[in-house]
Structure 1
Amino acid sequence: MLVSLTHAVRRKFRSLYQRVLISSILLGVVVFSFSYLSLEFCYKILSSSSLSHMCNQYKQNQYSGALCEELCNGESFKDFKCPHNSMKTIMFTAVKNNDIYAIKLAKHITDDLTWRDKNGLTRYPEMLEFQNIIKQYITITYNVTIEDTVIHALLTQEIDPHNPEQMLSLWRLFKDNNYMMGKLYEEESIFPNILGSCGPYYATENLDSIQPETGLRHYITIDWEGRLKFALMIMEFLHRLDTIKPEPLKMCKVEPHHFGITFDKRIKYQTAQYILSEFQLERLLTDGSHCEVDSDCVYEYCLGKCDETRKICTGQQQNNNLQIVCQYIFKGTRLFPGLLSTAKAPSSLLALLNICIDPSKNEKQHIPNRLYAPTLEIGSKLYNEIKRIHDELTFRA
């Protein structure tokens, strides 16, 4: 009886083991096949489809731009590929004269410039009217004034007067924050350079990733020197954002893998989707929404202020770029440790990180009337501490 029971248990165990093993193998095959098909779909279908659509629209005079002919003639560009990073804005990359171009697509918009006349025919704005529309939009959105001659020259180059529908895709470019930030802050070199456009598609320089490996597996065994160097580069980048004229830029969401580096070793940020001017952010935060506490007044990682008397959100940001980077990039969470939150980080560095994340406990550590915005002095101390640790490692090597 006992022997029979033992054999029965063994048979059930073998049967269960075989099922688990077969299920694991099938799951592995499915995952591998999905990954392979996704890669093939991206390389063979998605990029080719985007390029084919662009060129067809160009041949039908729907799209315009100097980049159209270069991309579609089959001579200027070669080696078309899907991007090797997680940037969803990049449709594909291509090589021209040994330089890699990232081809992006402006976001879809719902507003229309056209209307129908009494005969049911589609009408477009006159060129001067379209010029004024663009100028007003840039002034209202970015608090920046563009000279009429600059806008006029752009429209003359990009739009064929016999094909006014081309202004629709150009309008789409102007409504895309990634494109506009790249154009408006080109001289500051904080976003990838805009290298041309074709309809709603535009090309930028391609950036190489500089993010060291992160995650629990690298909590102890990591490239500590590489992380420190990356942190210093990020802080130098933040200084550039804070000193931009006429007003600083605010990073309301930041991801380490969105930082990239140019061929001449300059750090830039891949996307401006959540980067706003101070003017833009104040307008977002001051929307008159009802609130009870400051955390009711947020835009992504940017924390606003709740008026205790009127119970409405006001426009004064309570944290700043440095606090956001310290919390979400440098420290992270227990499950996903940040760039500097490792077993190798000395207590002096971790203490400064904690102050940077929450400077509200001491008036001297935060900017007046902004409880969660660490002062420049805190930023300087943190930078110097990171540099000290990095230099010591470099000297030992």
Structure 2
Amino acid sequence: MIFDSENFSHQDTTVATLLSGWRLVEQNEYLFTKSHQHVSYYPKIYGTCGSFYLTEYVPPDLSYFPNFLITKEVSWNMRVTVAMEILNITESMDKNFHEPLHFCDVKVWNYGISPVGEVKVIDTDSMYYESDLTDTMGKLNCTSHEHCDFNDCHGFCVLTTGKCRPQRTNNNLQKICQDILSDDPKNFFAGLVHNPPTDLSYRITTLVQECANPDGSHGILSKARSPTPAVYYHKLRHILQKSLVLYKTTQNAHNKYV
């Protein structure tokens, strides 16, 4: 590129602007979030400056997942409310777009909670529409199923051909149950629905485990390679809603005699 010495400053600024703008649009997370500003559970983008962009402040609240570093614990009522919001978000990803949207990096700190209690997905770098994900999977070579995995989006290796099948084997709901709702290393062995009300403890724990392990696989290192049936959205909402009623009744009875 040849610069005119008299207009060097202007040209230099223009080039810098173009380069910073290019660096911005190269960020998948920015592009995805920007193109989904109409969706309530993605953070709002307020503006950009060069290759940086400013979003609303929606930090993860790890007090919902207490561990040896965090002793504060929120109530069952609050935890179940957040759990049901995450279930709603997950089902929306399955149904409310032109094709299913896959979240391939499910972690407790990838969800934020606003000051008014809104749950939002704050890490969109690993969001893929189904056609993009399966097209990429189908181009991979493999000698084991793990070679076909995209983080939490598990694949399947056809050992006779050494190629990955263009298909995700688990689904978003399975990972939400495993890594968010149930006790798991990713949530410090304290999932959102840990310590449920005694009267419903067995039913809730069993249902969450069925959801997390649809193919019967168990153990810390197990990787489910079957999708959780969509009926578990209804089953989980029903039992969690029932637990809220029980929790409020118990709290009211307790307060009455305090």
Please give the TM-score of this superposition, normalised by the length of structure 1.
Answer: 0.53
The structure, 1 or 2, with the larger RCO (C-alpha pairs under 8 Å, 6+ apart) is 2
Matched pairs, number: 232
The match for 1:393 is 247
Shift of 1:257: 2.8
Pick closer, same or farther for the CA change 1:209–1:301 going to 2, 3 Å: closer
Q: What secondary structure, in the 3-state scheme, does the structure 1 residue paired with 2:168 have?
A: coil
Query: Alignment partner for residue 347 of structure 1, among 197, 202, 209?
Result: 202
Q: 1:336 to 1:371 in 2, by over 3 A?
A: closer
Q: Could you say which residue in structure 2 is the equivalent of 1:305?
A: 156
Check whether the contact 2:60–2:108 (CA below 8 A) recurs between aligned residues.
Answer: no
1:371: how far off?
A: 5.1
Deviation, 1:223, is 2.4
Corresponding residue for residue 276 of structure 1:
128
Select which of 324, 327, 334 maps to 2:175.
324
**SS at structure 2 position matched to 1:317:** coil
Tell me how large the CA RMSD over aligned residues is. 2.9
Amino acid at match of 2:37: E
Alpha-carbon offset, residue 381 of structure 1: 0.6
Residue 200 of structure 1 corresponds to 51
Aligned equivalent of 2:16: 165
Counterpart AA for 1:379: Y
Q: Which structure 1 residue ranges, 5 or more long, are not aligned?
A: 1-115, 123-159, 362-369
- Between Structure 1 and Structure 2, whose CA radius of gyration is higher? 1
| Deviation (angstroms), 1:325 | 0.9
State the Cα distance separating 1:342 from its structure 2 match. 3.1
Structure 1 pair 331/264, CA: closer, same or farther in 2 (3 Å)?
A: closer
Q: Does 1:290 align with 2:142?
A: yes
Partner of 2:25: 174
Calculate the TM-score normalised by the size of structure 2.
Answer: 0.78
Aligned runs of 1:68-217 on 2, under 5 Å? 121=2, 163-216=14-67
2:119 pairs with 267, 275, 293, which one?
A: 267
Superposed displacement of residue 283, structure 1: 3.1
1:336 to 169, 189, 195: 189
Q: Which runs of 5+ in 2 are unaligned?
A: 4-10, 217-223, 252-258
Given that 2:65 and 2:192 are in contact with CA atoms closer than 8 Å, whether structure 1 keeps it comes out as yes
Letter in 2 for 1:207: V
Q: Residues 301-337 of structure 1: CA distance to partner in whole angstroms, max 9, x if unpaired?
A: 1101212431211220011111011111111337623
User: Does residue 1:379 correspond to 2:230, yes or no?
Assistant: no
